[in-house]
Amino acid sequence: MLCLPPLLWAGNAVVGRLAIQQISPLWLNALRWAIALALLLPLGWRAFGSAQRRAQVGARWRHLALLSLTGVGAYNALQYLALKTSTPLNVTLIAASSPVWMLAIGAFFYGVRPRRAQVAGALLSLAGVAVVLSRGDPAALLRVQLVSGDVVMLMAIFSWCVYSWMLARPPAAMQGAQRPDWHWAEFLCIQMALGLVWATTAAGIGEWLQPSPRAVEWSPWLVAAVLYVAIGPSLIAYRLWGLGVAQAGPTVAAFFGNLTPLFAALLSAALLGEWPKLFHGLAFALIVAGILVSSRPARLA
């Protein structure tokens, strides 16, 4: 259950890199969540099935709207936009820097002080990201020669970390006796429905701002790609990851999550002919070292 999600997420980066040659990244994101929502509705339709349930959603719409924007709307759209100029391997390696931003957001906005081991691990992960951004040439950081897609992916990771903290530290209306009795599929349906509004709006604005918007080049391959990103990375991976974390715990799951860059490297080499370079291996080693160090249990006083 914990091995399959990283493989599916790596496939999302590789398939997305190919698909955006025939469809705009923003419309790919909107289609992905529209199909995923349609497939999940048979399990989660009760979230909208009665006046009482709709009132529960309406009373919490501000929190749910921001949650859906950061997790469904912004993160995936930014990831597909990043793939226009960056590679699937770079994107997944940068995504592995999330512990850095998790600690920073927790410290600044939630008052959660990180342990020394967590800070050390975050610095190692950040060093791995620096290796990716500099393409193995430290002088490139001084010249600030960054690929735009790498910067966009950093924005995507920041959005995902905000989403994760909002899930971990929900407002009072989502806790205790006030917490709605939503099934997991119902809660995910709510996020997808609101996220789809964000995604479609962004795609429409993006098309309106382009002087000559590109028409979608439909083909059997593109249909298969859209179905894959809607079913595999969206539904199957999220559900298996939740079940795996519940049984193995988040610490063990973190090690499996960092298999995504490894799978992305293998898939990129096999499908795109983009073979990893030496600096990719160094970056992966630094990021894994960061996870190992930050996962060390705190010493008892």
Contacts of 130 (CB under 8 A, 6+ apart): 138, 141
Please write the tens of the pLDDT for every residue from 15-68.
998 899 999 999 999 999 999 999 999 999 999 888 988 999 999 999 999 999
- Residue 142, domain member (yes or no): yes
Domain coverage including residue 26: 4-294
Please write the tens of the pLDDT for every residue from 142-178.
554 567 888 898 899 889 888 888 887 888 888 887 8
- Residue 108, domain member (yes or no): yes
Q: Is 0.85 surpassed by the pTM of this model? A: no
- Residue 301, domain member (yes or no): no
- Residue 247, domain member (yes or no): yes
Contact 90, 153 (CB under 8 A): yes
Q: Would the CA dihedral through 294, 295, 296, 299 be positive or negative?
A: positive
Contacts of 46 (CB under 8 A, 6+ apart): 53, 183, 186
- Residue 280, domain member (yes or no): yes
Number of folded domains that form the chain: 1
Average pLDDT (220-227) is: 94
User: In this model, does residue 252 exceed pLDDT 60?
Assistant: no
- Residue 300, domain member (yes or no): no
